[in-house]
Amino acid sequence: MATFFQSVRQGFGRGGNNKNNPPKSPVQAQAPAMPNSHSLSNSLTIDNIAANDPDAPKYFFQEKYAPLNVRGNFLTLCACPKNVELGEWLAHQIVEQYRLLHGMLQVIQEVNSVNGFPICNEQTCPTMSAGRLTYTWLVDGRAAKISAPKFINRVEKWIVSKIHDPVMFPTENVTGIPETSSTRDAAGVASGTPATPADSTNPSADDWIGKSSGFPQTFYKDCQGIMKQMFRCYAHLYHAHWLNPFWHINKHDILNMCFVHFVTVAKYYQLVSDKEMEPMQPLIDLFIKQQRVPPEALNGGHWAQQTTN
């Protein structure tokens, strides 16, 4: 696994000196021949447009185009160790999942040296879409369609603000019941839906996930809100950018590994609903069939294990 994480940390799209030819494009009949360089600066604009077409073939849903160059599954990196408090572990998982997603987002944010635009820009991605589904953002109290780069930028800033919030992600033990603004916006402002309370449990409840480590009572709902927005970024990466750049630079397998890891965590701790995952369900079903997403993670594996024990 160390090699995998090391490869994610290293920059993508800087392989201009790579003498190997890129893989044959599955849509070679519809697109011009690919250049020999793996550099993102040489990516074809026509592929951006085709990839963002909701009617374009979804090659990433096919097993032959969905390799995963890692043995086993990510359950060992997902399951909470017995000697670690669950709130601390979920905080670690959130930070780690954002780190991996950020590495994937950097790929589409690299600026094309020819036209001066990133691969994901206002022209190629005027909305935050995943196939025929469009995600909206709450603007002045109303759900509004904004471009994918703006949506992703706001999601990243929102997640970083949450992670660095000493109330939501405390680094020191605190006393009492902390209050956090995420109660108002975790499920509303970032999701593009009317703001609703992030935790409907009784505020006088004696226990909650992360209490002993100083996490607020809304912590679990906060994690669900963050993971939901990260999933939407993954959905856009696949539906709009799987071909260009990930397939063209032969990094689609890295994208798959990050996504499988994400889905395993999301399902094991029930952090993203099945309905939210529908835009990527065919690929998730494929990974479940291959047991890349292990059976132990399905239907809330952590909670099932706690009930059994």
Annotated binding site for Zn(2+): 120, 125, 236, 241
What's the start-to-end Cα distance of the chain, in Å? Answer: 29
Give me 137's structure tokens: 């953002």
Helix ranges restricted to H, 164-300: 182-185, 219-241, 252-268, 281-289
Would you say 276 and 130 are in contact if contact means Cβ atoms under 8 Å apart?
A: no
Binding-site entries? 120, 125, 236, 241
Query: What's the rounded Cα separation, in Å, for the pair 48 and 30?
Result: 13
Query: What's the rounded Cα separation, in Å, for the pair 189 and 193?
Result: 7
Beta bridge partners of 118: 111
Query: What's the rounded Cα separation, in Å, for the pair 232 and 235?
Result: 5
Query: What's the rounded Cα separation, in Å, for the pair 170 and 191?
Result: 24
